[in-house]
Amino acid sequence: QKEVEQDPGPLSVPEGAIVSLNCTYSNSAFQYFMWYRQYSRKGPELLMYTYSSGNKEDGRFTAQVDKSSKYISLFIRDSQPSDSATYLCAMKDNQGGKLIFGQGTELSVKP
């Protein structure tokens, strides 16, 4: 079993839809939970991060962490064609700088 599981999609939604992206994990030592966004032919960039449990909101994006269920989510409200990208969840414990990435979900938002 992989430490981090993410549905690779692809996921296609109409413009304006609410998008939900999810990851599950098995390592209870993870404390940092990140979402990276990767546009085509580019490297990933950090979109949001959460430390420990709870919610975090940034504009149209909301990240949720439920440590009791070992489940994290990223919600995108009023999705736009410019949100079309691959979204990777990533996690880290309190030691060092190594991240564990999910497989990434490819999202396409159609005008």
Residue 58 binds other proteins (CB under 8 A): no
Handedness of CA 110, 11, 74, 49 (dihedral sign): negative
Contact between 92 and 35 (Cβ < 8 Å): no
Shortest approach of other proteins to residue 36 CB, angstroms? 8
| 104 contacts other proteins (rule: CB under 8 A) | yes
Out of 14, 59, 97, 111, which residue is the one contacting other proteins (CB under 8 A)? Answer: 97
Residue 95: CB atoms within 10 A of its CB come to 8
Task: Please report, as ranges, the residues that interact with other proteins according to CB under 8 A.
Answer: 6, 8, 32, 34, 41-46, 49, 88, 90, 92, 96-99, 101-104
